[in-house]
Structure 1
Amino acid sequence: MPPEEQVRHRLLDAAEGLLRDQGYESLSVRAVNRAAGMNPAAVHYHFGSKHALVTALLERRLRPVWDGRLADLDKLAGTRTPPDVTGLAAFLVEPMARLAADEDERWALALLARLVLTDAALPWRSPWSAPEPWIAMIRRALPGLPAEVAAERWRLARDLVLVTYGAPLAEPGERPVPPSPDVVIAFVAAGLAAPHPRAEGNGA
């Protein structure tokens, strides 16, 4: 591993330890640099900001869960066959449900929900972390759906899934049990495919 990558991993490891202990709000760049044994400018030099550091950490933790599903999405996006809305809902829901069921990864899912639901301008590297590919897939599955409506439905679906699976602990040691993935997938698919009221009102 190149020396620069080693430094990045040390900073990410330090940030993860602090996030697990203190949470996002209490995390400081200075503390990460100190925990990693680096100079005070290390995080800004290698990542640019606290947001970018935490985004990179989430991608490192969550990417293994998503890798296979993202590869399937890439293949589907490259075919002429329109996707199925239930399949799209499953792509979104199943990785989240898997993370929520993993005691060691649940903190990362809660952090993901907290960041995405409060700040949409995170520097993700994966194209599937941006809304545009999902919106395009939704419009292929539902020909005639206006782009702005597809974008709205994507945001609602994403937020619903994040709230459902990424809710913080209600009480120490307790957490609401989310519905089964099949239930959430069916609900999300129904929302994506719902009749378009504005189109109906215009006689479409």
Structure 2
Amino acid sequence: MARAKAASSKKIDARLALILAAERHFALHGFEGTPLSVIHNAAGQKNASATHYHFGSRNGLIEAILEYRMAPLNERRAERMVELDGLSGTHDLRSLMVAWIMPLAEELQYRPEGNHYLRFLDRLRRGPSKPFAERIMSLQSEYRHLLDLIDQQLSHVPPRIRQSRLGIAAEQIVSALAALEADLPTSGPDHPYPALAINSLIDYITGGLGAGCHPETEALALHPSQIDFHFRISNETHEDSGSQNAAATGMDRS
């Protein structure tokens, strides 16, 4: 029994080591620039088939990283949504942006192994994201409720422009937080948390989403042929449902 438990623990340790090593190397060097052999070496795994043994494939490893980070992130967002729903029943746009952005921004808190998840996400949304869209949607269930509430606050914005702005917001949130992550000092657990930068980002996104529309923008939005911002990750089952396409981005792509 003790031997079986030890073997199981060793397997879990190896799996986590691969997840953390892959997250770090994908974040720093990209997906195409990171062979599995580099990840195996960084994780202390001598077996050349370690990724396939633990995750089935390279994509399985990427999905495991998403599951490892997104599940607790979604729980943190759920706690914020419960707090919001427990208030007066009305939600101002900035409070909703806090619920969107802060769970991601909390990824900037010190980790002994280093902070790489936001840059990993930034790479993923610009790269091989389509195979993971369905899983990302399922891991971010709180977005459905959050984006419904955002929709209510943006009822003055025409639907197509609203979608465009949410796409821009999702891009900017992840890019800005990834840039902050890259600039984090590596001095230890006492490194400063970038609270001012995060609050400035929240203010900026709130202002951009809620701003009025210029007449020229409204006129252009009437023409389907116009090129516009869009969500790189979507779920076809939600394409006819207002802002719910954003659920896989603010992976925030929240």
8 A Cα contact 1:127 1:133, kept in partner: no
Which stretch of structure 1 is more off in the superposition, 160-169 or 120-129? 120-129
Please tell me whether the aligned partners of residues 107 and 115 of structure 2 are also in contact (alpha carbons under 8 angstroms).
Answer: yes
Residue of structure 1 aligned with 2:139, choices 123, 126, 142: 126
Match of 2:171 in 1: 159
Identity %: 19
Q: Does the CA-based 8 Å contact 2:105-2:198 persist in structure 1?
A: yes
> Which residue among 68, 73, 79 is the counterpart of 2:81?
73
Query: How far did 1:18 drift?
Result: 4.7
8 Å CA contact 2:122, 2:178 repeated in 1: yes
TM-score w.r.t. length of structure 1: 0.67
Deviation at 1:120, TM superposition (A): 3.9
Q: Distance in 2 between matches of 1:129 and 1:14?
A: 28
Aligned match for 2:201, one of 159, 169, 184: 184
TM alignment of 1:86-97, pairs within 5 A: 86-97=94-105
Cα 1:200–1:24 change in 2 (3 A) is closer
2:24 aligns to what?
A: 20
Offset from partner CA, 1:30-65 (integer Å, 9 cap, x none) = 66578556683x645764542342232243135435
Matched to 1:116, the amino acid is R
> Residue 165 of structure 1: CA displacement?
1.4
Relative to structure 1, the CA distance from residue 52 to residue 179 in structure 2 (aligned partners, 3 Å threshold; closer, same or farther) is farther
2: CA distance, partners of 1:4 / 1:149:
51
Match of 2:119 in 1: 110
CA contact (8 A) 1:82 1:141 kept: no
2:138 maps to 1:138: no
Change (3 A) 1:23 1:200: closer
Aligned length: 197
Q: Which moved more, 1:119-128 or 1:26-35?
A: 26-35
Structure 1 unmatched ranges of 5 or more: none
CA distance in 1, matches of 2:47, 2:21: 15
Contact 1:69 1:91 in 2 (8 A): yes
Structure 2 unaligned spans of 5+: 187-193, 220-254
Identify if the C-alpha distance between structure 1 residues 81 and 48 changes in structure 2 by more than 3 Å, giving closer, same or farther. Answer: farther
106-115 vs 49-58, which moves further:
49-58
Q: Which residue of the partner structure matches residue 53 of structure 1?
A: 61
* Structure 2 contact 158–218 (Cα < 8 Å) conserved: no
Cα RMSD between the aligned structures?
4.3
Q: Provide TM-score, normalisation by structure 2.
A: 0.57
